[in-house]
Structure 1
Amino acid sequence: MNNRDPFNLHRSPAYHILRGTATRTAANVKQRVVEAGTQAFETGKQAVEDMSSFSIPKNVPSFTDPQRELENRAWGASGVTARTNAHSNGGVLSDMQDRVGGFFDKTRGDLPMYKDKPYSYAASRRQRPVWRRKRTFGIAGLFVFVLFYFLGYFGTHAEASKKAKNTWSWLQGPEKNAKQVDWLDRRERVKEAFILSWDSYERYAWGFDEFHPVSKKGNQMAPKGMGWIIVDALDTMMLMNLTSRLTHAREWISTKLDYDQNQEVNTFETTIRMLGGLLSAHYLSTEFPEMAPLADDDEGTPGEDLYLEKAKDLADRLMGAFDSPSGVPYASVNLQKVQGIPSHDDGGASSTAEAASLQLELKYLTKLTGEVFYWEKAEKVIQVIDDNGMEDGLVPIYIYAHDGRFRGSNIRLGSRGDSYYEYLIKQFLQTSKEEPIYEELWDETLAGVRKHLITYSSPSKFTILGERPEGLAKPLSPKMDHLVCFMPGTIALGATGGITEKEARKLPTWSVKKDEEMRLARELTHTCWAMYKAMATGLAPEIAHFHVDEPTLPESAPHQAPENLDDEENTEWKNDFVIKGNDVHNLQRPETVETLFYMWRITGDVMYREWGWDMFKSFVNYTAVEEGGGFTSLSNANIIPPVTKDNMESFWLAETLKYFYLLFSDDDLLPLDTIVINTEAHFFPRFKLGPLYKTGWQRKPRGPDGKILPDPPAKKTESPAVKVRTVVKTVEPVEPSAGV
């Protein structure tokens, strides 16, 4: 055991920052002590000489000046107190805690509006007696001694390390046994992280679509802004009951948000983030008004349904993307012209995931407005995709809008493929299981995934969901995007329908197939968690590759990945992972914590909560920005300290922190069997079809092999028989004339 560093603080990035700062401070203090000592000697000598010639000092402040009284009242009303009073608790990292923002102090008030506002008045500059100044010099010298003692120059600093551990114990590891953990307290830590992120955005980039927390500035995606961050975060603030911040956001939406702009936007991203965010805000604010009080609305007047009005206006503009010959939406749309625009890349083809991940939003909008053309546009896309008759439910990642045919044969559940599959099972659940066609499509997909895309790493046998970049007949690529980590939670959701596994197993519909699906969900979740543990910061890469056996093993092969990934003496399993230099960035993505949330709700295994807590600690420890900047994505998450990317994605607020918050919440907060969650973590209610809505299409007939049967040959139609009556005339022979 290292007695000089019993808690491994030297490995902490916070320690390295503190040590660098402290070393520079110590050098400065040492120099100042020497200079101050010399000056004190000269000043003392002069003081003795001037003892008999005392004079009133100049520039004495007036304590009756009206301006001073005004300033006193202003600073007193601000509620800003000295930093030491707010956060000092004796820990050696307490100053670092202040730099991160002090947001883990439960008694902390709101952050100051401006980072350079003083916390207290400056000390008086009035001359003090020589003996008091000598005491100051002595204290300064003692401070230098203690500082060097902590840095290890004078021996052990175990006691200081203990204080550091006590102050930041939640960053060093689980404080308590899982059974003793206060999960609602951990949820508050997530809420405070959201507040720090939001307040930083509000302070430095309010109204902008993009936020760069390191440089503390914002950018727009459209001339007047799209509300990209504000709208995306609405329902998270409602869940967290952040009413004052929500009121500010709602005011901006009411007075500033205008989609009538001559701007090309991505059809998919605008639908899932903006349309989905507005619809979710409408749902929560109407069904759960305690989450989002709307006292400023006047019933029956324009603006009463602000979120729904904005959603409908946006949806009507997005409809231009669906005006294609096939019904498959174009990749982009001009909001003002209501005109679809083909992709500028990929031969003009749309992404399959993007074209087929608009259905939850448009169907819910139909339910709210009664306008069925949203519904019809949405389900037409799925019909066109299915009419291609792809093998085993797996589809290429590009599709042409002009004819509805696929481009290429690249099959994957990562980027450009992922949410097509996600929305199949969620459409089935959204309409309360009254559209079995979507369950049929999901079942085919999952069977195809198990048959063609599952294999195991070598030698540790982690379960991998790979890719077929050249089609199903070509080799499997052992590559997993972090985006694929949505799949384990979605598999568990499909197996149980949103109720707990314990409840689902009691139903007559439970089967061996569902057992196998839950096993696969657990194994893939474990692999996604290992992607985090394999990195230096504990934050997953964008993409992971794996060593595999040749030929790759089928799903049925024996396998058992190591369970304990925290054993520092057994890290050979990391050799299964190949993290390439271009893939080491971390964009604050939500897919793994999303799956942890589903797995916790469905299985009840507290292990998934503990994994989530470790993930959250890594985000705080390595992505927090100094000077109240919030949190940033990383360009390199595999070195310490990591390289920052200077960007906060809107899904950090809309998805990642929301799923952490839900993971640590009680299960009765938005039960899974009453809602569906879109691919941007926005909430929609489940509903019955009723007499007004129905599935407007049918699948083409398939043979036993799943392939579409050819159309039967047209029957030959015979012309009606025409009876012809033959008339035979008897001609009498003519007698020859005489003389012939």
Structure 2
Amino acid sequence: MRLHAVVLLLMCIFRELYARKFHSSERIHLKNKAREMFYHGYNNYMEHAFPWDELKPLTCEGRRWDRRERGDLDQTLGGFSLTLIDSLDMLAILGDHEEFRHAVKLVIQHVTFDRNVTVSVFESAIRVIGGLLSAHVLASSSYVGLMPPSEYKSELLDMAIDLATRLLPAFDTPTGIPVDRINLLHGLNKHGSSLTCPAAGSVLVEFSYLSRLSKNPIFEQKARKAVLAVWERRSHLDLLGSSIDVLSGTWESSHVGIGAGTDSFYEYLLKYHILTGEASWLEIFNSSYTAVEAHTKFNDLHVEVDMHHGNRKIRYPRISALQAFWPGLQVLAGDVVNAVKSHDRLFELWVKFGAMPELFDLRGAGVVVDWARASPLRPELIESTYHLYQATRDHKYLKIGRKLLHDIESVSRVPCGYAAVKDIYTLEVEDRMDSYFLSETIKYLYLLFSDNPSVIVPSIYVGSIHTTLNVSVFGTSNCIDGEGYWTRPVKSSQVIFSTEGHILLTAPELYRRNPSHRMSNSYQCQSSTGFDDHLVDSLSSKKSSFSGYMPLGLSVRHKNIHVGTILASPAKFGKQIYNTKVTVESLFDLEPVGNGCDTISPSSLLGERIFGKLVMVYRGNCTFARKALNLEQAGASGVIIINTARVPYKKYRNQFYLIWDDRSKAGRNVSIPVLMVLAEDVTRLVGLIRDQELNSILTTRNGIKNEIPTLEDEEDGIVASLSSWLW
């Protein structure tokens, strides 16, 4: 009881501290500290462990892949200088051009995959292939151009192709779901285990990226088939189990959580959609995300449940360190409110112990699971802290990051690097520094404290070139002079982070997401009435040259359960939400109010119903600006225009539009957000709500209207969040 009171007091103190502004001088100090921490680990690895995979920081030696001292834990090791490959893009983030070039050359000279070693398919893909591809795009003169063509000729890409080709036989199963392990020299072990976890089938981002770079579709095809095979075997609640037989396709374990075994599956559904723009993957993600939020929560925390019964049958009321990635994913999904709540609860655990326990049992007063008392410097909580700061710019997260950094420094720093925590209660450390400590944990800390959060890789001068270059990033040429060139900075809106924290550029020539590369998807909006023909341009139309365009994410929740996210096209007038730190929330009325062309009295029944809410109207009969003005004058907080034009949905569901003001410039008087969505997306969203039996959402608000209703006023209402869809 006394301990509980102390923890509550500490949390109150922390909340008070987080309410204060974070001074820029301290932020710079912490950024430099994170930089120094990286080099303390990296330099010791290079001095004492390279070319072995990982550093043993207590004994100051490399961890040998051929000894398998830790059993299954060593399946991540393959004798391919794992820590160096994992760290390549971090060197670029730090602006250390010389060491980046040196490290790339070391990888090319020393790493080979032609060896008799059995490795994890999943870990090899996310750590090694992901690291190689990230570094390739950074180095290549076809993309960022950190190395001139005279020094780099796509060797890292060739190595990634080699490794992926050796992993491909793992996918040759009756289900298409890959086996967990494979020998890089001899291939499949006929007597090996046929069990794997859902996340093991999710190498979608790395393999699709490799296919686009190599122009060989086989890798992406195999990865897509594997993920869909897992998804097809979901329960009626849209939940997955934790272990599946790749031969029969049956679940060997029906218990499910969002930590080990499934985390990357959920993460890559959304990130693959972000890369490709394919709406079907967003639909799958929305279904899976809604299921997790509805069926795995216990006291506002996600626990392990049965895939067929959800939280009506809790298997283990415990949380894992790995599930701390979830708030970061919620941010990407547009569910920032619930991300804040999830992060708060997880951070409480860090405050309690000074590190993140691997497994914490919620029963009673709560206790760390006896066989999971380690804390191996995992990045997930720091990753979520970074994404929440990016979304909110709330200085609270800088202060949380400061505590995380100081705790790691005070507990884990040793002369030869950083040592994982062996016992969460005593904070004793062990001879272990996983490669992800440098590639993720320190990376997210450094980026959190960056004085320019919108930039991931700074502009770097590349000198001594003697070849004609064609260096570009997203169609923007680098600045070339007689002796060398300055690369363009890589911005946060131009990348996604893989599950291993590698930065992957959303290059338009790879995924055809840029308007200039989308001509096959062009569509000019038409209206049967002719009122708004000239007011909407497809983004691929040549006359749509609005360089600041950013689509919006419309995320809907009910009773703090995420229902779904659909993409929306913003108007050029009204409240703008291009700033990535702005999120607009409002109560949401799901019943369209007609075409919105008639004046609505605030005192009418319809006026009372829509007062203070985000309102939907059908397209047509009058201009968009007129609809917005009428609804704003009636008290609406925002307008969603349903595009009822006859558009072939399958072909144009990934198309976005710009909504222009009318000829009278009526939009100048609009101060609320205005956006357009496809009718099919609205139908799907309503269907999701109906499936959850949320019929009470259409109930109108009773009582005297004397102020705009708050989110707390409407426990049975639905809430919509509008935020910039970064990609």
Q: TM-score, normalised by structure 2?
A: 0.59
The 5-angstrom pairing of residues 416-427 of structure 1 reads 416-427=261-272
Aligned partner of residue 320 in structure 1, secondary structure: helix
Is 1:274 the counterpart of 2:118? The answer is no
Unaligned runs of 5+ in 2: 1-16, 68-77, 457-490, 522-649, 652-683, 693-727
Q: Which residue of 2 aligns with 1:677?
A: 497
Q: Which residue of 2 aligns with 1:595?
A: 384
CA contact (8 A) 1:596 1:612 kept: yes
Q: CA deviation at 1:405?
A: 3.0
Q: CA deviation at 1:278?
A: 0.3
* Paired amino acid for 1:373: I
Q: Distance in 2 between matches of 1:366 and 1:470?
A: 33
Provide Cα deviations, 1:506-534, integer angstroms capped at 9, x if missing partner.
xxxxxxxxxxx322111110011111001
Q: Which residue of 2 aligns with 1:18?
A: none
CA contact (8 A) 1:541 1:583 kept: yes
- Which one of 500, 521, 528 corresponds to residue 346 of structure 2? 528
* Paired amino acid for 1:601: Q
Aligned partner of residue 249 in structure 1, secondary structure: helix
Is 1:238 the counterpart of 2:25? The answer is no
CA contact (8 A) 1:654 1:680 kept: yes
Q: Which has the higher strand share?
A: 2
* Paired amino acid for 2:140: T
Q: CA deviation at 1:338?
A: 3.8
Is 1:664 the counterpart of 2:449? The answer is yes
* Structure 1 residues 287 and 179: alpha-carbon distance in aligned structure 2, compared to 1, 3 A threshold: farther
Q: Distance in 1 between matches of 2:250 and 2:21?
A: 55
CA contact (8 A) 2:53 2:81 kept: yes
* Structure 1 residues 341 and 245: alpha-carbon distance in aligned structure 2, compared to 1, 3 A threshold: farther
* Paired amino acid for 1:491: Q
* Paired amino acid for 2:34: V
Provide Cα deviations, 1:256-293, integer angstroms capped at 9, x if missing partner.
11101121110000000000000011122237988x74
Unaligned runs of 5+ in 1: 1-172, 457-462, 496-516, 549-574, 697-701, 708-740
Q: CA deviation at 1:429?
A: 0.6
Q: Distance in 2 between matches of 1:693 and 1:321?
A: 36
Provide Cα deviations, 1:345-372, integer angstroms capped at 9, x if missing partner.
xxx311111112x000111111111111
CA contact (8 A) 1:281 1:307 kept: yes
> Max radius of gyration: which structure?
1
Which region of structure 1 is more displaced relative to structure 2, 255-264 or 464-473? 464-473
Q: Distance in 1 between matches of 2:183 and 2:518?
A: 35
Q: CA deviation at 1:322?
A: 1.0
* Structure 1 residues 447 and 289: alpha-carbon distance in aligned structure 2, compared to 1, 3 A threshold: closer
Q: CA deviation at 1:649?
A: 0.6
Q: Distance in 2 between matches of 1:691 and 1:261?
A: 43
CA contact (8 A) 1:331 1:342 kept: no
Q: Distance in 2 between matches of 1:254 and 1:673?
A: 30
Q: Which residue of 1 aligns with 2:199?
A: 353
Q: Which residue of 2 aligns with 1:585?
A: 374
Aligned partner of residue 455 in structure 2, secondary structure: coil
Q: Distance in 1 between matches of 2:520 and 2:433?
A: 40
CA contact (8 A) 2:54 2:81 kept: no
- Which one of 280, 299, 303 corresponds to residue 437 of structure 1? 280
Q: Distance in 2 between matches of 1:422 and 1:472?
A: 23
Q: Distance in 2 between matches of 1:215 and 1:257?
A: 24
Q: Distance in 1 between matches of 2:191 and 2:244?
A: 11
Is 1:305 the counterpart of 2:154? The answer is yes
* Structure 1 residues 487 and 693: alpha-carbon distance in aligned structure 2, compared to 1, 3 A threshold: farther
Aligned partner of residue 393 in structure 1, secondary structure: coil
Is 1:484 the counterpart of 2:340? The answer is no
Aligned partner of residue 681 in structure 1, secondary structure: coil
Provide Cα deviations, 1:448-476, integer angstroms capped at 9, x if missing partner.
122211121xxxxxx31111157425522
The 5-angstrom pairing of residues 94-493 of structure 1 reads 178-222=22-66, 225-286=79-140, 293-295=146-148, 297-298=149-150, 304-339=153-188, 344=193, 348-356=194-202, 358-431=203-276, 433=277, 435-456=278-299, 463-469=300-306, 471-472=308-309, 474-476=312-314, 477-493=316-332
Q: Distance in 1 between matches of 2:378 and 2:432?
A: 12
CA contact (8 A) 1:635 1:645 kept: yes
- Which one of 539, 542, 567 corresponds to residue 355 of structure 2? 539
* Structure 1 residues 257 and 692: alpha-carbon distance in aligned structure 2, compared to 1, 3 A threshold: farther
Q: Which residue of 1 aligns with 2:417?
A: 630
* Paired amino acid for 1:682: H
Q: Which residue of 2 aligns with 1:655?
A: 440
Q: Which has the higher helix share?
A: 1
Aligned partner of residue 405 in structure 2, secondary structure: helix
Aligned partner of residue 233 in structure 1, secondary structure: helix
Q: Distance in 1 between matches of 2:520 and 2:428?
A: 51
CA contact (8 A) 2:140 2:146 kept: no
* Paired amino acid for 1:527: R
Q: CA deviation at 1:674?
A: 2.2
Provide Cα deviations, 1:217-242, integer angstroms capped at 9, x if missing partner.
11222598212111111111111123
* Paired amino acid for 2:325: F
CA contact (8 A) 2:201 2:223 kept: no
Q: CA deviation at 1:618?
A: 0.5
Q: CA deviation at 1:420?
A: 0.6
Provide Cα deviations, 1:283-320, integer angstroms capped at 9, x if missing partner.
22237988x7425x527xxx611211111111111111
CA contact (8 A) 1:205 1:216 kept: yes
* Structure 1 residues 693 and 234: alpha-carbon distance in aligned structure 2, compared to 1, 3 A threshold: farther
Q: Distance in 1 between matches of 2:26 and 2:455?
A: 17
CA contact (8 A) 1:178 1:606 kept: yes
Aligned partner of residue 673 in structure 1, secondary structure: helix
Q: TM-score, normalised by structure 1?
A: 0.58
* Structure 1 residues 184 and 307: alpha-carbon distance in aligned structure 2, compared to 1, 3 A threshold: farther
Aligned partner of residue 178 in structure 1, secondary structure: coil
Q: Distance in 2 between matches of 1:229 and 1:467?
A: 32
Provide Cα deviations, 1:683-731, integer angstroms capped at 9, x if missing partner.
11224347999999xxxxx999979xxxxxxxxxxxxxxxxxxxxxxxx
* Structure 1 residues 249 and 264: alpha-carbon distance in aligned structure 2, compared to 1, 3 A threshold: same
RMSD across aligned positions (CA): 3.0
Aligned partner of residue 437 in structure 1, secondary structure: helix
Provide Cα deviations, 1:192-219, integer angstroms capped at 9, x if missing partner.
0011111111121121112111111112
CA contact (8 A) 1:184 1:664 kept: yes
Provide Cα deviations, 1:390-431, integer angstroms capped at 9, x if missing partner.
223210111222133322211111111111111111111111
Aligned partner of residue 361 in structure 2, secondary structure: strand
Q: Distance in 2 between matches of 1:597 and 1:287?
A: 30
